[in-house]
Chains A and B, each alone.
Chain A
Amino acid sequence: MSKDLRNPLARARGLGSAKEGVSHWMTQRITALALIFLTLWFVITVLSLLHADYATARATIAKPWNAVLLIALIVTMFRHAVLGLQVVIEDYVHTRWLEMTSLVLIKFIAVLAALTGVLAVLRIALGS
């Protein structure tokens, strides 16, 4: 008799739980909560800059608090996006190599885009 409740076949194949499900679920919710505030702040900031010229827009983003919140938005947004896209791909892409390629690709794109965004904000904030 097996001592645990797992199917012996699943155990033999090594395809049991990776134990990352809770972390994925929780991170998705926490980033969601943060994004409620960050995105609403961002929308209001953009609306306040509708008729601003280049110098005003740049000076606004360069303010320390705005730069910090913007970097927080960029990092949180892409983290949340990858978690969500990952689940969609896992649910709907049934060709294994296509699924794996898509999962890796969204992570590469998200990291590159996030770094590009953070560098842009730093360049604006530090004035280079």
Chain B
Amino acid sequence: MAQTGRPLSPHLQVYKWQVQMASSILHRVTGIINAVGSLIIVWGLASLASGPDAFGTFTDIVRSPFGTVIMVGWTLNFFYHLCNGIRHLVQDTGKGYAIESFVRSSWMAIIVSIVLTVVVWAYVLTGSHA
């Protein structure tokens, strides 16, 4: 940064922690992780096109304990980016900028994404016993 001697705006450590800080940076973090996740989708499709052996290797890795942990994490990651993305699209129309609703929608994005993750994995894990 150029040393202009001008006053700088206060930075992160000056502010009290607020949920909007988390929801904002999490949107970027989850976006980056989703970009990596999109490569897993391509890997799965390419293995499905290659044949039963390749696809078997793919599903074995995905169903392993390590793969399952990654999948659960990816599910939460995906649903958070989806929920907070919808929140941003609503805000793009100019709505939801009052402090109270801004904070409320931040929490909603976090809570709804956790609920959706639990619902999906409850379905996955209970279904496997049937």
Residues of A within 8 A of B (CB): 29, 32-33, 35-36, 39-40, 42-43, 47, 50-51, 54, 57-58, 61, 70, 74, 77-78, 81, 84-85, 88, 106, 113-114, 116-117, 119-121, 123-124
Contacts and interface: CB of A to CB of B under 8 A. Distances in A.
B130 to A, nearest CB: 8
Interface string B66-88: 00000000000010001001101
A27 to B, nearest CB: 13
B5 interface: no
Nearest to B123: A47
Given A39-B78, A51-B128, A88 B45 contact: no
Contacts, number: 78
Contacts of B49: 119-121, 123-124
Contacts of A51: 127-128
Contact of A47 (B45, B48, B92, B120): B120
Contacts of A77: 38, 41
A57 B38 CA distance: 19
Contacts of A117: 41-42, 45-46
Chain B CB within 10 Å, residue with most, of A36, A61, A77, A120: A120
